[in-house]
Chain A
Amino acid sequence: QVQLKESGPVLVQASETLSLTCTVSGFSLTNYGVIWVRQPPGKGLEWMGIIWRNGNTDYNSALKSRLSINRDTSKSQVFLKMNSLQTDDTAIYYCTIHWFAYWGQGTLVTVSS
């Protein structure tokens, strides 16, 4: 069955770079895109970006300058990197399959000043 799982640090210092991994199973990254979504505590969902099945990417306009999404299809992993972190980047970070039918459980990342 389709599964996604996020992994990465729980605490990051301000101004540093966040690196998260989404490991998927039950489907191939060459067949479906993967989206990153984040949710600050107590707030709504924010679409961050997508890596399409062909490897192309699209990003949230507000995050584009400091966000990159890549993948390793052989390992079924999608990577998120975001630099110049600030405290308002504290959020639960989710990965989800292209059409939102399957989600990871999310990982809470706290940015400390």
Chain B
Amino acid sequence: DVVLTQTPPTLSATIGQSVSISCRSSQSLLHSNGNTYLNWLLQRPGQPPQLLIYLVSRLESGVPNRFSGSGSGTDFTLKISGVEAEDLGVYYCVQSTHAPYTFGAGTKLELK
């Protein structure tokens, strides 16, 4: 199974600060069809996860453009350009290139 390693496990930020989260895969997430199925989710306390980014860098409808995704192959990054209070929670990367799909362990974004 594919292992996704997220770093850091915890991130402390002030409002307005820009932050990045890394997600590294144990094998390439490039599918034979040419797509890379790496997604980013945000889970706020007491809520189900919410899709932020799909196919590495495509912003889900309704998600603010301060969120951006990048990367290829085995290394991926989620960047938040100017953290807002509503961004606090746990961020997960999840791959859907190889079945069984797998999640990263999560990165908790806190206020400093």
Seen from chain A, the residues whose Cβ lies within 8 Å of a Cβ on chain B are 35, 37, 44-47, 49-50, 58-61, 94, 96, 98-101, 103-106
Contact = CB atoms under 8 A, between A and B. Distances in A.
B39 A61 contact: no
Given A44-B105, A45-B92, A99-B96, 17 more contacts: A37-B103, A44-B90, A45-B103, A46-B103, A49-B100, A50-B101, A58-B99, A59-B100, A61-B1, A96-B49, A100-B49, A100-B51, A100-B54, A100-B94, A101-B51, A101-B60, A103-B49
Contacts of B102: 47
A100 B100 contact: no
B48 interface: yes
A97 B25 CA distance: 23
Nearest to A56: B99
Nearest to A105: B48
B103 A100 contact: no
Contact of B94 (A47, A49, A59, A105): A47
